[in-house]
Amino acid sequence: MWPKCCTFSCRLLLFLPAFHSCEVLEKYFPESCLLIIIGVILGIITFFASDSHSIIEFNTKLFFTVILPPIIMEAGYFMPTRAFFDQLGTILIHAVIATLVTNMCDLIAIDRVTVT
């Protein structure tokens, strides 16, 4: 499972420099739209090229170890520092409130499951 995911991610990352070097594509298509199209095409190719026609199972381990780290790294790398520090108070308030609400919902759900 891991080699298939890694080669798929590497193939997808090879398309980014080609996209940015072609001004015509960059003018008419947003990068995210083109990446979705490329991902669908590569997914179809991978599906039909495999012997068992199996689909890669999307589980939490795959998400947290393969998919999420590049997303977080890209978002943090391209975040303007001025905009981040201007909104730092809002970000922290949202983080604290969201954490409290999530914990309260979890506690309520656990309490209802253990009572019944």
Does residue 23 register a pLDDT over 80?
no
Q: What is the pLDDT of residues 39-76, one digit of tens each?
A: 788 778 877 877 776 666 678 887 888 888 888 888 87
- Note the pTM of the prediction, 2 decimals: 0.41
d(CA 116, CA 56): 37
**At residue 114, does pLDDT exceed 90?**
no
Mean pLDDT of 19-29: 74
Distance CA 37, CA 34 (A): 5
Q: Rounded to 10 degrees, what is the CA torsion of 68, 69, 72, 75?
A: -110
Q: Write down the pLDDT at residue 16.
A: 66
User: Are 43 and 49 in contact, with CB atoms under 8 Å apart?
Assistant: no
